[in-house]
Copies of this chain bind each other. A is one copy, B any other.
Amino acid sequence: MQSHNVGTPIASSHALPQASKDTLAVLDHLIGTHAQRLVRRFYDAFLEDADGAAFLSHQMVETRLVHSLRQWLIDLFVSADTEAQRKIGEVHARIKLPFGLVIKGAALLKAEMSDLLIKSELDRAALASTLVFVDARMDWAMGLMSEAYMQGSMRRAQVDEAFRLFAVGQDVSLTRETQNAALMEWLQSILFPLLEGTSNADLVPLAKSTFGLWFHHRAGLIFQGAPGLEVIHSNLKQIDTIVLPKLQESRPTNGEEMRKLLARLRELVEEIKFVLSDLFQSIAGVEGGRDPLTRALNRRFLPTILGREVSIASSTGTPFTILMIDVDHFKQINDRWGHSTGDMVLQQVADVVMDTVRFNDFVFRYGGEEFLIALVEAGVNEGYEIAERVRARLAERRLRLSDGNHVQVTASVGVASYSGHPDYVQLVDAADRALYEAKHSGRNRTVVSQEAFAGTP
């Protein structure tokens, strides 16, 4: 370790940037004179911006925001209230205003204020220090807002996910049947008046039916972002805005046209049913935390576990090692005996792995025939030992095939230990490269990553 010249420390407590009395007086005057114009230009720009406009209406700007922003500017350069900045960050998080927009907004205000300052009578030195101060004070506010914003957004993401899983965990098969029935019920409510020739009976839009309301207000929560949602949404829209109005119009005068429209309606509804059934199918598989075949952990949890273990290792100084295990020549097994045999082999490989590691280790299915194991509080030597034990047990085990025959497989292993880098992805990459080496130097062997990040612990 060497000695360092210490520069300006980053204040952990978000210290408020200070300015001379003169600078404050200049800004006081500037804001007093131009606040209205600054604020107006700010919101004009915001309302012109597609992202920004989604959060604002002209009315809101007129009745409230113009006043609030003006007050914020005054407060920022006079009283500089820490809590006020945090509060704003919280509200922004609650309304899901993208933080990039907040930063852009601040940049806009800075630019406008700089413009005014440059046009002022200030001399070189005073101008420069005022520009620097305006910038620093704004950044101070951004720093506080961003903290509150992040906290609020993370908490929200957490609760959203909890609700989604709760909704998924509710009786899904019941929901599927209920909604199928609701869709059919709506269809009947359309078809009977048409068949009976009841003229003028209003056709209820699908979007307003029980099914439509469920779809708009619940399905999005359960199937978050699934592409199928778009299909249903578009079919729903087509039915309500094209097919239904035309049906209403054409009956009872035009039989041919009506037949066509009914065929189209049927098609659209059938597709909704089909896609919906697919969506329900998909969550049945994905929501489990474990890979259904091998019972190993789902790899989507890797960031949670590895991120956490890396930060435990970093803060407590305990070692942490990961193994990347890949079955050798697995493709040949699949090709020769078929996929269901391949699956049986994988299941037994996973059993060997899980029986060999310790109770508190984490075993993930990483890819087709690849497993990633997080060995908690294990250094590189212990990691190597466990890897070799897995490899040796696997090599001597006779795995059952469905036809009663047996097969033997080997595996290659890459080992990498935490060595100071805070990003777990680096660790995974190092293990991956070690595995690659194990493969290319003949397979059925363990290779330890020699990469050390900034010296080993």
Contacts and interface: CB of A to CB of B under 8 A. Distances in A.
A312 B219 CA distance: 13
A171 interface: no
Nearest to A2: B58
A10 B49 contact: yes
A278 B46 CA distance: 51
Given A8-B45, A213-B376, 16 more contacts: A6-B44, A14-B104, A59-B455, A60-B453, A107-B143, A118-B128, A128-B128, A150-B153, A153-B157, A156-B303, A156-B304, A157-B157, A159-B301, A167-B289, A217-B312, A217-B376
A163 interface: yes
A10 B108 contact: yes
Contact of A110 (B41, B107, B139): B139
Contact of A132 (B59, B111, B377): B111
Interface string A133-156: 001100110111011001001111
A5 B221 contact: no
Contacts of A150: 98-100, 150, 153
A158 B123 CA distance: 53
Contacts of A214: 359-360
A420 B103 contact: no
A326 interface: no
A41 B453 CA distance: 23
A268 to B, nearest CB: 20
A315 B162 CA distance: 25
Copies of this chain? 2
Q: Using C-beta atoms within 8 Å of the partner chain, give the interface range for chain A.
A: 35 or more
Interface stretch (A18-26, A248-256, A339-347, A421-429): A421-429
A283 interface: no
Given A2-B58, A47-B4, A127-B124, A307 B94 contact: yes
Contacts of A8: 41, 45, 108, 111-112
A301 B190 CA distance: 36
Contacts of A62: 454
A300 interface: yes
Interface string A34-50: 00000011101111111
Nearest to A290: B166
Contacts of A158: 157-158, 160-161
B289 A166 contact: yes
Contacts of A161: 157-159, 161-162, 165
Interface in A422-441: 422-425
A452 B129 CA distance: 45
A42 to B, nearest CB: 7
Given A7-B112, A221-B308, A423-B91, A107 B146 contact: no
Interface string A96-132: 1111110111111011101001100001110111011
A395 interface: no
Contacts of A453: 60
A48 B5 CA distance: 10
A178 to B, nearest CB: 8
A126 to B, nearest CB: 10
Interface in A279-328: 288-289, 300-301, 303-305, 307-309, 311-312, 314-315
A210 B127 CA distance: 65
B57 A420 contact: yes
